């Protein structure tokens, strides 16, 4: 977000566009009343919060009114070409492969795209591959595209969050080893029965 604001202030781009998929984190919220902006606001609220923290409420509101800053659900990107823009796709681990491809092909001239996501926090239905995971595989060798991976020591929240991340990573590693050992044991038992 800071890089986008900096690029705007240095007039390297003409607008900032922020988007994220409207995917619920585990719990189902059901029908949301209101118009479109009221329905998608809960999904986009973290993006607004970051902008307000960096620029202040009044400045953000003015920039939104002038369409210099746009916050929109990912579903509304289809058909657009985003020139002279800094585009941020947040929570991209919750995109499908099709959504990610659609987003990536919106990038226009003199634009930069930053895609953030955490593949350990995917909220998609089972058997739906994350667009972020897929993009990492498909685009690894494409020129002008780079990936930066962060770890628990990069956490900029409360220090306990890094310890929480480490604990989950250790548990997941142990769980993978346990499953591999069980699979090896089953295979050995099957071979002994033959």
Bridge-based pairing of strands 15-20 and 69-73 is parallel
**Does the pLDDT value for residue 28 go beyond 70?**
no
| Average pLDDT over the chain, rounded to an integer | 87
Beta strands in the chain (DSSP E): 15-20, 69-73, 85-89, 112-115
115 burial class (0-12, 13-18, 19+ CB within 10 angstroms)?
buried
Condensed to tens digits (0 to 9), the pLDDT of residues 74-87 reads 888 889 999 999 99
What token pair was written down for 69? 């800053």
Rounded distance, CA 45 to CA 153, Å? 26
Q: How confident is the model over 154-172, as a mean pLDDT?
A: 83
Q: Any idea which of 58-67, 137-146, 185-194 has the lowest mean pLDDT? A: 185-194
Quote the percentage of the chain above a pLDDT of 90: 55
What 3 state SS string does 67-116 have?
CCEEEEEHHHHCCCCECCEEEEECCHHHCEHHHHHHHHCCECCCCEEEEC
**Who wins on pLDDT, 158 or 25?**
158
Whole-angstrom CA distances from 85 to 104, 107, 115 are 13, 8, 14
**What is the three-class DSSP state of 3?**
helix
Q: What is the pLDDT of residue 33?
A: 64
pTM of model > 0.85: no
Q: Tell me, what's the pLDDT at 37? A: 60
Q: Cα angle at 79 between 46 and 17, to 5 degrees?
A: 30
pLDDT band per the 50, 70, 90 thresholds, residue 180: very high
Alpha-carbon span 184 to 188, nearest angstrom? 6
């Amino acid at each position: 977000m800071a890089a986008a604001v900096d690029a705007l202030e240095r007039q390297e781009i003409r607008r900032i566009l922020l988007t994220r998929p409207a995917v619920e984190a585990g719990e189902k919220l059901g029908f949301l009343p209101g118009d479109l902006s009221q329905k998608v606001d809960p999904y986009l609220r973290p993006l607004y919060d970051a902008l307000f923290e960096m620029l202040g409420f009044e400045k953000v509101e003015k920039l939104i009114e002038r369409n210099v800053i746009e916050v929109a659900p990912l579903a509304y990107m289809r058909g657009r070409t985003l020139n002279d823009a800094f585009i941020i796709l947040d929570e991209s681990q919750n995109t499908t492969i099709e959504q990610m491809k659609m987003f990536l092909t919106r990038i226009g001239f003199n634009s930069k795209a930053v895609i953030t996501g955490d593949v350990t926090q995917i909220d998609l239905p089972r058997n739906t591959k994350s667009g972020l995971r897929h993009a990492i595989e498909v685009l690894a060798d494409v020129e002008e595209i780079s990936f930066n991976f962060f770890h628990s020591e990069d956490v900029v929240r409360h220090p306990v969050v890094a310890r929480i991340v480490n604990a989950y990573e250790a548990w997941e590693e142990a769980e993978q080893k346990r499953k591999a050992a069980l699979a090896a044991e089953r295979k050995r038992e099957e071979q002994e029965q033959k």
